[in-house]
Chains A and B, each alone.
Chain A
Amino acid sequence: MGYTLNFSSVWANFDSLLWGLVLGLFMAVCAIGIGFLIGIFGAFASQSKSPWVRGAIGFYVSILRNLPLLVLILFVYFGLPQLGMTLGRLESFIGALAIYAGAYLIEVLRAGLMSVPPGVVEAGRAVGLTQFQTNLYVVTPIMLRNALPAMSSTFISLFKDTSLAAIVAIGDLTYQARKINVETFRVVETWTVASLLYIATCVLIAAGLRALERRYPRF
């Protein structure tokens, strides 16, 4: 053993860790935002009468959920330029994470959609709302509320997945931690602080979403 803890070099670089964390949160928010739109459209489309549409959604979900995120990120960042689509680091990472998020959110929101009681849809139609209005004002809020617990864990795991940005040299928290680790050799301290920052952020996200769950009672 004989290892003495010395956090000073980690504290000296603490701001770069925090900025890395902010960047990670930013990427997560962007990817989840886009993925959420994919999820809502995909969930409704999976109820479509056309077997082609349902098949396409099922195909998308099962491919993306079974593909390692790293392979997807590397493909988008290094592979797509070969087709003439050159994206910046950040754009390609957010894009890859968004497509990945979309597949998971379709699954989660579809389960939420299935849990909407048919009675309220019929009631919506009976009071004269169009199909679209029923979906927008009646079905969607209930679907979102019922899917909230599952969405929370998806959001948290997507936030954790932003750590993969370090592999394509985006300066997120993991990247900064690795840099401090290599530059200062304060190995134990660096990884302890980095993972505590991740844990704290996950706990905060979870607490926020749980507060949201309490605020809106389950339908």
Chain B
Amino acid sequence: MSEFLHQLTLSQGALLSGVQVTIYISFLSIIIGTAIGLVIGLVLTYAPFLARLPFRIYVDAIRGTPVLVLILAAYYVPAVLGVSLDALSSGILALTGFCAAHMGEIFRGAFQSVEKGQTEAARAIGLTFPQTVRYVLLPQVIRSVLPTWVNTGAELVKGSTLLSAIGVGELVLRTQEIIGRNFMTMEFYLVAGLIFLLINLAIESFGKYLERRLTYA
């Protein structure tokens, strides 16, 4: 046990930097992914069929492909097309694309659940479409999307572990390096698991808090 504590203090820095990278990746991909997802959701709900089609294909293709495959593809493909991305950027690219597709579906559901009468009323009083989105749709949509959005955040934290497969120094890869040094396999996977648990439980309780604040009778 004291040996374990000793090893734990030795590996503190590595674990901490792993946690930072994990949070950085997840945060960046959920922010960019949500912004793109919002656009996708709008297009899927309001655009005419032909404009909708490529977005529909994108969303279904991404959602039908495992995240690991997306990550490996984002890691290997850009190089042969003449774009050079380091492992971290390809990983963030893959997770962002994944997040955008998922949020796109979630936003589509939320936009479609707003009654049609409201957009018609907004048109009738002379609001342009961007104004309708800004003043009529978004206030309701954000409210209904928030709890799911927070869950997606936890999913992304879990998904970010897969970046260890392409050599991004997030928490799992750092843990594997530590284990390679001291052979305390079980102990340090438990430590990593515990850290992920703490991060995700924090996200989950934040989500529950939002849900309590935002539900209206």
The size class of the interface chain B forms with chain A is: 35 or more
Chain B residues with a Cβ under 8 A of chain A? 60-61, 63-70, 72-73, 76-77, 79-82, 154, 157-159, 161-162, 164-165, 172, 176, 179, 185-186, 189-190, 192-193, 196-197, 200-201, 204
Q: Give A162 Cβ to nearest chain B Cβ, in Å.
A: 8
Q: Looking at the complex, which of A48-56, A63-71, A139-147 is the stretch in contact with chain B?
A: A63-71
User: In the complex where A198-B64, A203-B64 touch, is A74 in contact with B189 (Cβ < 8 A)?
Assistant: yes
Q: Provide the residues of chain B in CB contact with A83, threshold 8 Å.
A: 186
Extra 8 A-B pairs, beta carbons < 8 Å, given A82-B186, A167-B162, A202-B64: A68-B158, A68-B161, A70-B164, A163-B68, A177-B69, A188-B77, A194-B69, A202-B63
Q: Mark A150-188, 1 if CB is under 8 A from B, else 0.
A: 000000000011111011000000100110010001011
Instruction: Compute the total of residue contacts between A and B using a CB distance below 8 Å.
Output: 116
Q: How far is the CB of A197 from chain B (nearest CB, A)?
A: 10
By a CB distance below 8 angstroms, the chain A residues around B154 are 66
- A interface size (C-beta, 8 A): 41
Query: B80: which of A174, A185, A194 is its contact (CB, 8 Å)?
Result: A185
Residue from B60, B161, B192 in contact with A199 in the complex, judged by beta carbons closer than 8 Å:
B60
CA separation between A194 and B65, bound complex, in Å? 9
Q: Name the distance in Å between B95's Cβ and chain A's nearest Cβ.
A: 13
- Bound complex: CA A72 to CA B192 (Å): 10
Query: Is A87 positioned at the interface, with any CB of B under 8 Å from its CB?
Result: no
